[in-house]
Amino acid sequence: MKHSIFLNFLRHPTQVGAICASSRVLSCAITDMAGIGSVPQTVVELGPGTGVFTREVLRRQKACGGRFLALEINEGLCCNLKNIFPELELYQENALRLPELLQEKKIDHADVVLAGLPWAIFPEELQTGILDSVCRALHPGGQFLTFAYVQGVWLPAGRRFRKHLQDRFRNVETSPVIWRNLPPAFIYRCTL
């Protein structure tokens, strides 16, 4: 069975929320901003989809070590990820369950959480529920990185999402627009 983001968008529009995967340029930018590959860290990815960020994290961590866990809610995408990345520590889980999962795996806290989740289509309770889980999962000083599409930033849902980040994190920075992504996007880097 084919596992493109587009086909999964047709099957599960309210979970996938995008018609194509992030570009390699966005994937390099987000892993660069997170400092992945510079020192051994515990990294978590929420919503890896077809594995664009996953590939980059695995490649960078190979050189310097560290632990990497990925949580994907969609069963078909999980099977696909397991085939592509047999070495990946992958869980078919809702991102909401991140703190409990870390506890079960005897991991104190994560250093970095990356998310490619479709925030703009999530109801507000799910947005805030996942952000609260991320905050509980991170070390003080830990980093949360995610991205948003440029066209959504002035819409009420986009403004509300930024406010939820600012309410929870000590520092919220944004990257320049990454035009080589469909649609163009920018990255949020939030420090707890």
Applying the rule CB under 6 A, the residues between 101 and 160 that interact with ligand SAM are 116-118
Q: Minimum Å distance from CB 180 to ligand SAM?
A: 14
Q: Does 76 contact ligand SAM by CB under 6 A?
A: no
Closest CA to 114 of 18, 180, 187, 175: 187
- The encoded tokens of residue 30 equal 């987000």
Q: Which stretch binds ligand SAM (CB under 6 A): 43-51, 102-110, 150-158, 168-176?
A: 43-51
Ranges within 158-187 binding ligand SAM (CB under 6 A): none
What is the four-CA torsion angle of 159, 163, 166, 167, rounded to 10 degrees?
A: -170
Contacts of 24 (CB under 8 A, 6+ apart): 52, 56
In the numeric block, the tokens 């989740």 are attached to 117
Choices 14-22, 81-89, 136-144, 150-158 (CB under 6 A): range interacting with ligand SAM: 14-22
Q: In this chain, which of 41, 42, 74, 127 binds ligand SAM, going by CB under 6 A?
A: 74
Cβ-based nearer residue to ligand SAM, 37 or 116: 116
- Determine the residue type at 51: G
Q: Does 47 bind ligand SAM (CB under 6 A)?
A: yes
Query: What is the maximum alpha-carbon separation in the chain?
Result: 44
35/18 Cα distance (integer angstroms): 26
Q: Which is nearer to ligand SAM, 100 or 141 (CB)?
A: 100
Query: Contact, 82 vs 90, CB < 8 A?
Result: yes
Judged by CB under 6 A, which stretch of 15-23, 138-146, 152-160, 177-185 contacts ligand SAM? 15-23
Please say which residue, 1 or 140, places its beta carbon nearer to ligand SAM: 1
